[in-house]
Amino acid sequence: MAGHVSVLLDECIEALNIRPDGIYVDGTLGRAGHATEILRHLKTGRLIGIDRDADAIEAAREKLAPFGECVTLVHGDFREIGSILDQLSIPLVDGMLFDLGVSSPQLDNVERGFSYMGDAPLDMRMDQRAALSAFDVVNTWPEEQIRRILWDYGEERYAPRIARGIVAAREIQTTGQLVDVIRGAMPAAALREKQHPAKRTFQAIRIAVNDELGAVEDMLQGAVQHLNPGGRLAVISFHSLEDRLVKTAIARGEKGCTCPRDFPVCVCGFVPTLRAVSRKAILPSEAEIAENPRARSAKLRVAERV
């Protein structure tokens, strides 16, 4: 199994502007690469590590054991960041990091059903306590709903053909069977493209299964409310829908005034909560992409609480 490589690691650490005595949150702990580097910059500070994947929590527990009581691990969903911090009696923190990608161990563990490169039960749940799985989406959702998520979440131009193929092939038990259905629904020219024909469909189903976009929206609201003034929010996204949500949330925190443009002064009562640290997304270097091709689509956006 390939090891997990933390994306934009140095850029994230710089973005967080870490104080040695600060309190920080890694809301998508994964295999604790970012968390480890945050902890190395702390002296009397504390890190809260959150992940909804129980396997990730257990792996991180072992890896972060040398840091002792500086670490608190929580098996939970980052969309509940506010209630998690409230339960820990932590009203405000100095920085939060969220990596919205699927970690390499999840992709490489064929049995989790995230990968289109093997054959495994249709699952794709980040949190295996969750009720909804990829099997349910593929085998019970109406054709129109499947078409919509393939188009909206995967930007799949053959969404209608693939949705029809999925419904006609039911019941589909494994990822390998789903890949075969996708291939059979696509025109020959599409199958000759460099990108794997199932990539966009698998992405869309994963997003739907885990309600990833809704979770990101909830997370962004809760995160801003629990940042100290001057605290940093750093979010890594891997596709345009997530990045758009993050970019929009930062812009809303900066310039969310709803008054007409011709009003001489603001009368809606808007008070800025965020300031973008970088106007453009921070991208991985060519060297990082060469070392870790999965970083190619990563974008880091950073904002500061005002």
- Global confidence as pTM: 0.89
Structure tokens at 175: 């990822």
Write the pLDDT tens digit of every residue in 163-189: 999 999 999 999 999 999 999 999 999
Cα–Cα distance measured from residue 62 to residue 58, given in angstroms and rounded to the nearest whole number: 7
Position 243 scores a pLDDT of 95
- pLDDT for residue 12 is more than 90: yes
Write the pLDDT tens digit of every residue in 106-138: 777 888 999 999 899 999 999 989 999 999 999
290's CB contacts (< 8 A; 6+ apart) are none
Domains in the chain, ordered, with CATH?
9-105+212-305 (3.40.50.150), 131-209 (1.10.150.170)
Comparison of pLDDT for 37 and 265, the residue scoring more: 37
Cα–Cα distance measured from residue 246 to residue 209, given in angstroms and rounded to the nearest whole number: 20
Position 1 scores a pLDDT of 38
> What spatial distance separates the first Cα and last Cα of the chain, rounded to whole Å?
43
Cα–Cα distance measured from residue 250 to residue 232, given in angstroms and rounded to the nearest whole number: 12
Position 2 scores a pLDDT of 45
Cα–Cα distance measured from residue 95 to residue 47, given in angstroms and rounded to the nearest whole number: 10
Cα–Cα distance measured from residue 210 to residue 133, given in angstroms and rounded to the nearest whole number: 8
Write the pLDDT tens digit of every residue in 221-248: 999 999 999 999 999 999 899 999 999 9
- pLDDT for residue 153 is more than 70: yes
- pLDDT for residue 82 is more than 70: yes
